[in-house]
Amino acid sequence: SWAVYRYGNGKFDVENIDPNLCTHLVYGFAGIDGDTYEIKVLDPWNDLSTEGGKGAYNRFTGLKQQNPHLKTTLAVGGWNEGSEKYSRMAADPVKRANFISSAIVLLNEYNFDGLDMDWEFPTYRGGSLDDKENFVTLLKELRVALDEHNMLLTAAVPAGLKILEQGYDITAVAAIMDYVHLMTYDFHGAWETFTHHNAPLRAHPQDTGDDVNKNVETAVEYWIQQGAAPSKLVLGIATYGRCYTLDNTADTGFYAYAPEPSRAGPYTGTRGVLGYMELCEMQQTSQDWTVVHDPAMNEPYAYHFATKMWCGYDDPPSVAIKAAFARDRGLGGTMVWTMDTDDFHGNCGNNR
């Protein structure tokens, strides 16, 4: 929802969504009030219609008028919300009840079809080791409450094995949910000092140690091995790249030394990240970009000598490969994170 504040071609609003391209749309994000532990509208001016607001909630769920089969859900959480409030809420029956009852009211008021829990992450970032069990308790209570209103319950979950092992009872979580949205991206990034792909489908031949497990295939197989039904798993696909500043432009492959994140993009404004629409626009306006399809990988990377930028990202062919992977594994589908960094204007190809 923050993308509405961008300028030019980067500005994204509800009207940029084609409601016939997806079966489900998720609005991100709502949060939690740190005093009452009720669900909290994070951007009332944009999200609500009161006091001259833009009414994005109503406009978003109103997309169902164009596609009656569409389901619209509201995500609560996200990285910026942190973990501590969610840990305290999940540990306390009264706080859980406040959150759940207020969430039901908000979902009904704005005609949402369900809730997407995006607590990032149980037992981490100031959380408690009890979060693993308490998260299951919270989901069970949410399940009962949402079922009374015929609403969906989904969750966005990490793909890193260490976080999963410590914070998630996968068997219990998967049994409760309608769908589990796997955040199978951000395996690598500029917090490291070497180049690698944001979301590799499989391990790179040069991967060693923990890096061998930082890929889509390993994450999916782990969830299935822990008892999750494949039909409940939704494979996440990133519409942005993780980008670095090369130390030496003579070394442009995987594991090249890159001690700094890339410069920020014109729309996303964050070092180390470029939206697909930014990458495409940059490649269209500069001949200095080189795009490489490593035969060992299914995803491209691109580098730019003048700025020393190096980005690992997904493009339409690599997305098609991941969709085929999801189909072949019998998964419930694919999702994208996020629509506002994709080519939503259709400037990079023949359509959006």
Q: Which residues are catalytic?
A: 120
Phi first, then psi, for residue 166 (nearest 5°) are -80, -35
* CA separation for the pair 111, 97 (Å, rounded): 21
Instruction: Please name the residues in contact with 322: beta carbons below 8 A apart, sequence gap of 6 or more.
Output: 201, 216, 235, 237, 298, 314, 334
Strand partners, 298: none
What's the Rg (C-alpha) of the chain? 20
Long-range contacts of 167-171 (CB under 8 A, 24+ apart): 167/121, 167/122, 167/123, 167/124, 167/127, 167/131, 167/132, 167/135, 168/122, 168/132, 168/135, 169/132, 169/133, 169/135, 169/136, 170/222, 170/223, 170/226, 170/227, 170/228, 171/226, 171/227, 171/228
Q: Which of 7, 76, 10 is CA-nearest to residue 47?
A: 76
* CA separation for the pair 142, 153 (Å, rounded): 8
User: Which single residue is written with the structure tokens 């729309």?
Assistant: 267
Whole-angstrom CA distances from 34 to 69, 82, 86, 95 are 36, 11, 9, 10
For 130-187, the three-class secondary structure string (H helix, E strand, C coil) is: CHHHHHHHHHHHHHHHHHCCCCEEEEEEECCHHHHHHHCCHHHHHHHCCEEEEECCCC
Q: Where are the alpha helices (DSSP H) in the chain?
A: 44-47, 56-61, 84-91, 93-109, 131-147, 161-167, 170-176, 216-225, 276-285, 316-328
**Interstrand relation of 240-245 and 309-312 (parallel, antiparallel or unpaired):** antiparallel
